[in-house]
């Protein structure tokens, strides 16, 4: 699933193609909104909120989308927009005279009043890439369940929004925290969430995830994608496992020496 930095970049691409332009095509391919028509309305902006996207249009309406595991927004010249029918996975098309934004395999597509955006994102914790980021609030939310593992708690978007399995693994490694340590036993929670924000912020402007500072292929991360390989710090083999209750378990990687129990 794309993490907060990738969604942040997607919002920027949507803004570049749609902001300030009047929609000439509005094609919702989801049963709930199949008859919705936004043609003639100008797009005001698109913002990211954690892993959610909010595209606001004239008339007080918001198109809410979520990429989930396989979703993607493609930007293409309007003349090459997706056909009106077909089994290509397209779930939404928003186009103007110049550009078309094509939402493929989107995990969520909603149309709601802009004033009611809290219905779809109000449950989220502080956004790691938001202007209103609040580390203290993220810590407060994490501490509501002090006996929960830190690895599970960091992925709970109700605590802090935008972190996924890649940044969880990298944050915990760089913080020296064993993924199964209880939240209440982590000495510096604020330091950990602040580090997570720094990692996402450093990657928000470019594709790919680099946490080592080295962009060479195979050198970008400390533990993620390196199961069975030697730790870059100590040489211990990187461990791989799963966290969370089934069927919601998620991948976790760690170094048993650098992240002791």
The per-residue pLDDT for range 139-161, each reduced to its tens digit, is: 999 999 999 999 999 999 999 99
For range 168-172, the mean pLDDT: 98
- Tell me if residue 2 is catalytic: yes
Q: How far is CA 186 from the centre of its chain?
A: 25
Q: What is the pLDDT of residue 81?
A: 78
What is the model's pLDDT at position 85?
66
Task: For 59-107, write each residue's pLDDT tens digit.
Answer: 999 999 999 989 999 999 998 877 776 668 999 999 999 999 999 999 9
Instruction: Reduce the DSSP state of residue 18 to 3 states and report it.
Output: helix
Q: Which two tokens stand for residue 192?
A: 């950990």
Q: What's the pLDDT score for residue 87?
A: 65
Domain boundaries, the chain: 4-122, 135-255
Residue 232 has pLDDT above 70, yes or no: yes
Residue 225 has pLDDT above 90, yes or no: yes
**Segment 110-140, tens digit of pLDDT:** 999 999 999 999 999 999 999 989 999 999 9
Q: Is 51 a catalytic residue?
A: yes
pLDDT at 243: 92
What does the pLDDT read at residue 80?
Answer: 82
Single out the catalytic residue among 2, 56, 197, 204: 2
179 in active site: no
Flag whether the pTM goes above 0.85. Answer: yes
Q: Which of 145, 155, 164 is nearest to 69 (CA)?
A: 164
Given the residues 29, 51, 91, 226, the one annotated as active site: 51
Query: Is position 250 annotated as part of the catalytic site?
Result: yes
Position 249 confidence tier, pLDDT thresholds 50, 70, 90 = confident
Terminal CA-to-CA distance of the chain, rounded, Å? 28
Per-residue pLDDT tens over the stretch 186-217: 999 999 999 999 999 999 999 889 999 999 99
Q: Decide the pairing of beta strands 99-104 and 90-95.
A: antiparallel
Assign domain 135-255 one CATH number from 3.40.718.10, 1.10.3720.10, 3.40.50.1100, 1.10.8.50.
1.10.8.50
Whole-number pLDDT of residue 115? 98
Instruction: State the sign of the Cα–Cα–Cα–Cα dihedral 31, 87, 101, 108.
Output: positive
In this prediction, residue 176 has a pLDDT band, given cuts at 50, 70 and 90, of very high
pLDDT at 7: 97
Domain 4-122 homologous superfamily, CATH: MutM-like, N-terminal (3.20.190.10)
Is the backbone of residue 82 left (phi > 0), alpha (psi -120 to 50) or beta?
beta
């Amino acid at each position: 699933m794309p993490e907060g930095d990738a969604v942040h970049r997607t919002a920027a691409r949507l803004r570049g193609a749609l902001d300030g332009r009047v929609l000439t095509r509005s094609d919702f391919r989801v049963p709930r909104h199949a008859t919705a028509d936004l043609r003639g309305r100008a797009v005001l902006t698109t913002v990211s909120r954690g892993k959610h996207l909010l595209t606001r249009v004239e008339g007080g309406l918001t198109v809410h989308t979520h990429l989930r595991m396989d979703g993607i927004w493609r930007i293409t010249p309007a003349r090459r927009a997706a056909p009106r029918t077909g089994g290509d996975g397209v779930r939404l098309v928003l186009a103007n005279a110049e550009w078309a934004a094509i939402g493929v395999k989107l995990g969520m597509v909603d149309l709601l009043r802009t004033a009611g955006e809290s219905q779809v994102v109000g449950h989220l914790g502080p956004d790691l890439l938001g202007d209103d980021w609040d580390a203290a609030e993220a810590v407060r939310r994490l501490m509501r369940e002090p006996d929960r593992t830190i690895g599970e708690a960091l992925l709970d978007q109700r605590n802090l929004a935008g972190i996924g399995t890649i940044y969880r693994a990298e944050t915990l490694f760089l913080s020296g925290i064993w993924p199964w340590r209880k939240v209440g036993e982590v000495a510096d929670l604020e330091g950990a969430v602040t580090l997570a924000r720094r990692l996402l912020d450093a990657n928000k402007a470019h594709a790919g995830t680099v946490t080592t500072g080295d962009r060479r292929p195979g050198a970008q991360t400390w533990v993620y994608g390196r199961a069975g390989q030697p730790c870059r710090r100590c040489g211990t083999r990187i461990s791989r496992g799963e966290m969370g209750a089934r069927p919601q378990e998620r991948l976790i990687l760690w170094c048993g020496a650098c992240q002791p129990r």
